[in-house]
């Protein structure tokens, strides 16, 4: 006959000192398993007389209950300790810098567009946009280039060969103009027309974006970027245009000695038309904007076209040309980006080479602000 109470005491002591769940399981099997001593003791009850059984059973039952309870309590304690240990081991230090994370960078074209918006916003300009898939009315006709105008041929336009039913030409906007051809816009000037039709005069906007021409060499890519400017109000004259461009370029290149030259030119949508040149010098093999283009060691570089908006354009866009006039300009964004940041091959802008981006790209934290000097590298 086994001594239940000393067996129980020994089992409870072993359970109390068990250090692992495995050790605890061994104790459970030893006492309560099929062949455990408690189970065996319970089995002996079957062969006893009722009196013997009444005398022996309570001790065995209470041994089983107290051992089961101790096992449960110890199991819970060991599991809680294991969880604590795991949590301590798997702690993540969120304050560590993410050194291993892949680094992206902001493309110089995006950066320059942000710089443009920042500078022109300060001059009271809003940013407007228009579709890159245009129709020939907005891209040409309303800009005073009718079907036979020779300037159309100079634009190397990508036309869409088939205008499918249900496409842009049959949208409600174009009802009645089924003859409109669909193309990739060749310049940002159609945004002038769209903005005037949408909001009328007075108006003061810039419109940066992608434009497309079938052209490709070291200084031309089939897709490139322009920024259009448009100011329409009462009593606007060429002096306003010159001041606006000078003020913009001084802020953009972050220097005061910017000299602009306005050369007579021709664009169907402006009258008079001028081309805008800026003085630059070559320092250390790199073109640096500043100074007078006719000074020794200096030259002029063409940055874009501009002029007073032709009254026919105002009429196409529904603006009263007797009451309002204004100026417009169109600048090559990639070109002024190259001048400011020193790249010499336009094609590399659109190759997507990560080494080029790592070198010429900007940190997303490097937001252009006038107070910090637009485009200043952190
Ligand atoms: N749209 C012209 C081009 O891409 C550039 C231009 C010239 C825009 C004169 C203008 C302008 O707004 O007034 O070649």
CA distance 259 to 289: 9
How far does residue 182's CA lie from ligand 1's centre (Å)?
20
Closest protein CA for atom 7 of ligand 1: 305
Tens digit of each residue's pLDDT, the chain (378 residues): 568 889 999 999 999 999 999 999 999 999 999 999 999 988 998 889 999 889 888 999 999 999 999 999 999 999 999 999 999 899 888 887 777 666 789 999 999 999 999 999 999 999 999 999 999 999 999 999 988 888 787 788 999 986 544 444 444 444 445 568 999 999 999 999 999 999 999 999 999 999 999 988 877 899 999 999 999 999 999 999 999 999 999 999 999 999 999 999 999 999 999 999 999 998 777 888 999 999 999 999 999 999 999 999 999 999 999 999 999 999 999 999 999 998 988 889 999 999 999 999 998 888 888 777 775 553
Residue nearest to atom 13 of ligand 1 (CA): 306
Beta bridge partners of 278: 260, 301
Sequence-ordered list of residues with C-beta below 8 angstroms from that of 334, at least 6 positions apart, any chain? 109, 221, 224, 225, 346, 349
- Tell me, in angstroms, the distance from the centre of ligand 1 to residue 138's CA: 14
pLDDT at 172: 45
Q: Distance between CA 348 and CA 259 in Å, rounded?
A: 29
**Positive or negative, the Cα torsion across 69, 71, 72, 73?**
positive
List Cβ neighbours of 249 (8 Å cut-off, separation of 6 or more).
258, 260, 278, 289
Q: What is the pLDDT of residue 271?
A: 97
Q: Report CA(212)–ligand 1 centroid distance (Å).
A: 14
For a ligand 1 pocket test, name from 139, 204, 329, 331 the mutation site with the most ligand atoms within 8 angstroms of its C-beta: 329
Q: Which of 341, 104, 352 is nearest to 221 (CA)?
A: 352
Alpha helices in the chain (DSSP H): 4-17, 21-32, 37-45, 50-89, 108-122, 136-139, 150-154, 190-199, 238-253, 311-316, 333-341, 354-360
**Can you tell me which residue has the tokens 């940002």?**
188
Measured CA to CA, the distance from residue 255 to residue 259 in angstroms comes to 11
**CA atoms of 247 and 231, how far apart (whole Å):** 15
pLDDT of residue 175: 44
Q: What is the pLDDT of residue 378?
A: 39
226, 330, 331, 335, best to mutate for ligand 1 pocket (most atoms within 8 Å of CB)? 330
In the block, residue with structure tokens 């680094």: 103
How high is the pLDDT of residue 330?
98
* Residue of 269, 309, 334 to test ligand 1 pocket, by largest number of atoms within 8 Å of CB: 269
Relative to beta strand 325-332, strand 223-233 is antiparallel
Other C-beta atoms closer than 10 Å to the C-beta of 251 total 21
pLDDT at 246: 95
Instruction: Tell me how far apart the alpha carbons of residues 203 and 224 are, in angstroms, rounded to a whole number.
Output: 26
Residue 263 CA to ligand 1 center (angstroms) comes to 14
CATH of domain 108-360: 3.30.930.10
pLDDT computed for residue 370 by the predictor = 79
* Cβ proximity of 233 and 202 under 8 Å: yes
Distance between CA atoms of residues 207 and 230, nearest Å? 9
Separation CA 13–CA 5 (nearest Å): 12
Taking Cα atoms as reference points, which of 115, 108, 114, 111 lies closest to residue 360? 108
Whole-prediction pTM: 0.71
Q: Are 331 and 187 a contacting pair, CB within 8 Å?
A: no
Task: Give the residue extent of every domain in the chain.
Answer: 2-89, 108-360
Q: How far is the CA of 304 from the centre of ligand 1 (A)?
A: 7
Distance of CA 292 from the midpoint of ligand 1 (Å): 24
């Amino acid at each position: 006959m086994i001594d239940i109470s000393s067996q129980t005491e020994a089992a409870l002591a072993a359970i109390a000192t068990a250090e692992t769940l495995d050790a605890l399981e061994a104790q459970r099997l030893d006492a309560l398993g099929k062949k455990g001593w408690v189970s065996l003791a319970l089995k002996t009850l079957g062969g006893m007389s009722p009196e013997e059984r009444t005398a022996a059973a309570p001790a065995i039952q209470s041994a089983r209950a107290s051992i089961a309870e101790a096992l449960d309590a110890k199991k819970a304690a060991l599991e809680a300790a294991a969880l604590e240990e795991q949590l301590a081991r798997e702690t993540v230090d969120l304050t560590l810098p993410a050194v291993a994370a892949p680094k992206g960078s902001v493309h110089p074209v995006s950066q320059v567009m942000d710089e443009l918006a920042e500078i022109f916003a300060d001059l009271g300009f809003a940013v407007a946009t228009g579709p890159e898939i245009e129709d020939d009315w907005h891209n040409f006709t309303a800009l005073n280039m009718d079907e036979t105008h020779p300037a159309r041929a100079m634009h190397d336009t990508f036309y869409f060969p088939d205008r499918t039913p249900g496409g842009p030409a049959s949208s409600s906007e174009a009802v009645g103009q089924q003859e409109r051809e669909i193309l990739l816009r060749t310049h940002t000037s159609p945004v002038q027309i769209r903005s005037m039709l949408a909001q009328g005069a007075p108006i003061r906007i810039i419109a940066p974006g992608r434009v497309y021409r079938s052209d490709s060499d070291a200084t031309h890519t089939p897709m490139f970027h322009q920024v259009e400017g448009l100011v329409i109000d009462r009593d606007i004259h060429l002096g306003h245009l010159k001041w606006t461009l000078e003020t913009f370029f001084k802020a953009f290149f972050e220097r005061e000695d910017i000299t602009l030259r306005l050369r007579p030119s021709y664009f169907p949508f402006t009258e008079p038309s001028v081309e805008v040149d800026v003085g630059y010098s070559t320092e250390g093999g790199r073109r640096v904007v500043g100074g007078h283009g006719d000074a020794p060691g200096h030259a002029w570089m063409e940055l874009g076209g501009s002029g007073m908006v032709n009254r026919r354009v105002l009429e196409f866009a529904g603006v009263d040309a007797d009451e309002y006039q204004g100026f417009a300009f169109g600048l090559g964004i990639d070109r002024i980006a190259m001048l400011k940041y020193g790249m010499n091959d336009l094609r590399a802008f659109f190759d997507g080479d990560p080494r080029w981006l790592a070198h010429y790209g900007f940190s997303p934290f490097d937001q252009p602000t006038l107070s910090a000097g637009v485009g200043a590298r952190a």
